[in-house]
A = this chain, B = another copy of it.
Amino acid sequence: MKREPLSKGETPDIAEAVLNAGFDISTCPVRDVMDHIGGKWSSLMLLVLSTKPHRFGELKRAVPDISQRMLTQTLRDLQRDGYISRHVFATVPPSVEYRLTPLGESLMPALRALVAWAVDNHPRIAEARQTFDAA
């Protein structure tokens, strides 16, 4: 995903938007962050891990409709960005534990706020969707 730096002249609108939100477009950390935690499974993983550390199999059972492939990949992405840490125990069969890092923890309030909003407004969304589909 290549993103060219943008001159202000070319993009007055986004410039305004991002400045309002308090960030610089040329680096645009929002996308950098949102693209990851906004992924299909990431927020769910973080939510589950925020309750307590989990092992790979536990996560798989906790989010039943994720494929193992996506689980592995999501965990690696989250680990790469420093949200979670991975601890291997040399048992047999080997077990691996995933847990939130302090960085991951620090994200949770904002994420929970979003979840709370989702819960509160879900009926309205469902209604909007029905109205739209009827037309």
Where the two chains meet, the residues of A that have a C-beta atom closer than 8 Å to any C-beta of B are 1-4, 6, 10-11, 13-14, 16-18, 20-23, 27, 29-35, 37-40, 43-44, 47-48, 50-51, 54, 58-59, 61-65, 79-82, 103, 106-107, 109-119, 121-122, 124-129, 131-133
Quick check: A81 and B29 within 8 Å, CB to CB? no
A20's partner among B2, B51, B64 (CB-CB below 8 A) is B51
Is A65 within 8 A of B1, CB to CB?
yes
With A11-B62, A22-B119, A32-B122 as given contacts, are A111 and B112 in contact (CB-CB < 8 Å)?
no
CA separation between A114 and B47, bound complex, in Å? 15
Report the Cα distance A21→B43, complex, angstroms: 12
Alpha-carbon gap, A59 to B13, bound state (A): 8
10 more A-B residue pairs beyond the given contacts A21-B116, A34-B43, A79-B132, with a C-beta to C-beta distance below 8 A: A11-B64, A13-B61, A23-B119, A30-B43, A38-B38, A38-B40, A82-B129, A103-B124, A107-B121, A114-B114
A109 to B13, CA, bound (A): 20
CB of A17 within 8 A of CB of B110, answer: no
Residue of B30, B106, B118 touching A44 (CB-CB under 8 A)? B30
Is A48 touching B132 in the complex (CB atoms < 8 A)?
no
Q: Which residues of B contact A17 (CB under 8 A)?
A: 47-48, 50-51, 62
